[in-house]
Amino acid sequence: MSQNGGPDLFSRRAMILSSLGGLYFAVLGLRMAQLQIFENEEFRLEAAENQFNLLVNPASRGPVYDRFGVPLAVNRRDFRVSVMREDVDDLPTTIKALASILRLPPEKAEGSLNEAKISPRFMPSMVAENLSWEEYSRVSVYAASFPGVRCEMGEARNYPLAESMAHVLGYVAKANDKDVAADPQARHPGIRVGKEGIEKSQEKGLKGVHGATKLEVNAHGRVIREVVDPRLNPKSGTPIVLTIDAEIQQVAYDQFQAKDKRPVEAGSAVVMDIHTGELLALVSAPSFDPNKFVDGISRTDFNEYNNAEMRPLYHKAVRGIYPPGSTYKMVTALAALEAGITDPEETVNCPGFYMLGNHRFHCHARRGHGSVNLHTAIKVSCDVYFYEMGRRIGGDKMAQVAREFGFGQRFDLGIPGIAASHVPDNAWKVKNRGKPWQVYDSLNVAIGQGLIAATPLQLAVMTARIASEGKAVVPRLIREGPGAAPFTPFKQLPFNYQHMHLVHEGMIAVSNEAGGTGRGDLGIEGVRMAGKTGTAQVRRITMAERRTGVRSNASLPWRQRDHALFVCYAPAEAPKYCCALVVDHGGGGGAAAAPRAREIMRATLLKDPSSKPAFTTRAKTADLAPPADGTPPGDGKA
């Protein structure tokens, strides 16, 4: 051994270096094993992604049909021209050339250019769509001269009935930022998303499953070839069948259109099958053309819709909230009978007004109706009779009966935006108005004014529940497909059959007896209709105006006129269909609403042969012998 320990020192250094070298190679080996074995699948997929690009291939949107298979929302051929920014050498020049060939307006060309600049490089950007065959042929001739330009035939949504079905179906339109955040595929220019109605609420089922086109690319991102992969084929959306009858829907919509000297009216109509709850018509007028939204509505058209006084974009049938007016008097009548505070023979004298303290509540008949009982009060719609009943019953009891008839409920039809309205009672008024219930509240609510409010859909449900002699009818809109629910039998409401029958007789008198406020013939031999008119005030009539004479609706600005309402069902003796109709600011229910409802009911009944035989009149109330608990004899069917 040397003095400096040379051989031992060398051995220690060699050992340390060898250990470090071994450790290095061990780490290197572990890293290689991690990359080649443990993370092999991840990097293989990344390499595949670098080699192939997937271009979204939109699925065919599911069609929507009426109950008889009439197309309501379908797909049409759409000729389009788009550009792929990645493949275009000079984007502004290419867009300018295409605009010249297609004769696009300057603002359209500029918009297409701006959109192409911000679109993803491998996503087509639309230059023009909904082209005619001539336009498409013309641009196809030159397409080969412009790299990145794609001429293709796709699909676009089409609504054959346009305005009459617009509020039920809604519409589709280009995706906004919120839509893209929820579904990045919606960014594709050929994809439209549902914005209102059935199109929005059933978007998941209708849109189907989008596919993809697999493109092999080189290291520079250039497309080499298209790879066929059946697993990437799109899957079409699921068809939907509605309960709507397209013919009845159109008849109902036409009742609000200009005819002879009659102007266009605003309002809504609901037609329902009493036994199933299926909606045959759900109309809101005036309406809009949903086809204008598919490719992007112009600012001029949108402003015209949005600023129109009659609110064509608003679905009045399910969102409109109105005082029910005298159509509510059936609720008051039944509440009075159920509470035992009156009987069918009791009479109330109507001198044309009702005194509460020193305040005078007027009847619509200025000279009064004289002595009236329940039957006559419904027939002539005597306010004084129902003021007295309202005073006796109170708000809480009327509210209880109103809820059983569907007021205050939000019915799930499978479309968005359905309103619930409210049913006022003492608790509601304290919570919402900070004041307790007063007697004058009962008087106002008893005739369908004051704090009470309802939607046309709720009025139709009320009518169906009365016509079915107390079945808790629930409305349905979707018959088959996404959103459809199985039919379940309706429960029986807790009302005495004799009391329900008295209300029936009053409604039959409204449409068929002399003095009835909605008297009129259906025009079908052997078939009668039962109904109830309603006129709902939207402005306060001052005492000074009452002394000098109440101004007529015709002399008032449109928004200050009364709403006209009518609810009905037929055949009166064996009810099958009901209708609720509201004419916004239309004036009197008997003059403005009842004739339109009769036309709708007539068309509905004429389509159903089972509704046309002659019927025997219902037994008089005195001849009935219901069970002690007041339930209907037999199965309780009307």
What residue type is 583 in one-letter code?
V
Rounded CA separation 351/361 (Å): 11
Name the active-site residue from 82, 112, 287, 326.
326
CATH of the domain at 608: 3.40.710.10
Domain region containing 84: 55-242
Residue 224: predicted pLDDT: 61
Rounded CA separation 256/598 (Å): 13
Residue 50: predicted pLDDT: 53
Last residue of a domain, one of 202, 222, 242: 242
Backbone angles phi, psi at 587, to 5 degrees: 100, -135
Residue 221: predicted pLDDT: 56
Last residue of a domain, one of 218, 242, 266: 242
Low-confidence ranges of the chain (pLDDT < 70): 1-10, 14, 29, 31, 33-53, 118, 120-122, 142, 144, 215, 217-226, 541-551, 555, 611-638
Q: How far is CA 284 from its chain centroid?
A: 10
Neighbours of 71 (CB within 10 A): 15
Provide the 3-class DSSP secondary structure of residue 445: helix
Contact 211, 55 (CB under 8 A): no
Rounded CA separation 568/531 (Å): 4
Task: Let me know if residue 444 belongs to a domain.
Answer: yes
Residue 618: predicted pLDDT: 38
Task: Let me know if residue 42 belongs to a domain.
Answer: no
Question: Distances in Å between the alpha carbon of 50 and those of 123, 217, 298?
Answer: 16, 8, 41
Q: Which of 577, 582, 615, 611 is nearest to 596 (CA)?
A: 582
Rounded CA separation 264/257 (Å): 5
Provide the 3-class DSSP secondary structure of residue 628: coil
Rounded CA separation 362/21 (Å): 107
Last residue of a domain, one of 221, 242, 263: 242
**Total number of domains constituting the chain:** 2
Evaluated on CA atoms 382, 387, 392, 394, the torsion sign reads positive
Task: Let me know if residue 420 belongs to a domain.
Answer: yes
- Give the pLDDT confidence of 82-104 residue by residue, as tens digits: 777 777 777 777 777 777 777 77
Task: Let me know if residue 118 belongs to a domain.
Answer: yes
Rounded CA separation 211/235 (Å): 7
Q: Residues 566, 443: one domain?
A: yes
Contact 72, 169 (CB under 8 A): yes
Q: Residues 343, 472: one domain?
A: yes
Q: Residues 344, 235: one domain?
A: no
326 is catalytic: yes
Q: Residues 233, 329: one domain?
A: no
Residue 81: predicted pLDDT: 76
Rounded CA separation 566/582 (Å): 7
CATH of the domain at 195: 3.90.1310.10
Question: Distances in Å between the alpha carbon of 480 and those of 65, 165, 238, 240?
Answer: 10, 18, 10, 6
Q: Residues 352, 230: one domain?
A: no
Q: Please identify which residue in the block is written with the tokens 């069917």.
A: 637
Task: Let me know if residue 414 belongs to a domain.
Answer: yes
Residue 180: predicted pLDDT: 85
Q: Which residues contact 423 (CB under 8 A, 6 or more apart)?
A: 399, 402, 403, 407, 408, 452
Q: How far is CA 94 from its chain centroid?
A: 43
Residue 622: predicted pLDDT: 37
The span from the first CA to the last CA of the chain, in angstroms, equals: 122
Residue 313: predicted pLDDT: 95
Contact 197, 321 (CB under 8 A): no
Q: Which of 533, 543, 542 is nearest to 563 (CA)?
A: 533
Rounded CA separation 318/283 (Å): 9
Residue 549: predicted pLDDT: 58
Question: Distances in Å between the alpha carbon of 527 and those of 45, 160, 275, 601, 602?
Answer: 73, 34, 18, 11, 10
Q: Residues 362, 508: one domain?
A: yes
What residue type is 135 in one-letter code?
E
Provide the 3-class DSSP secondary structure of residue 526: coil
Residue 84: predicted pLDDT: 75
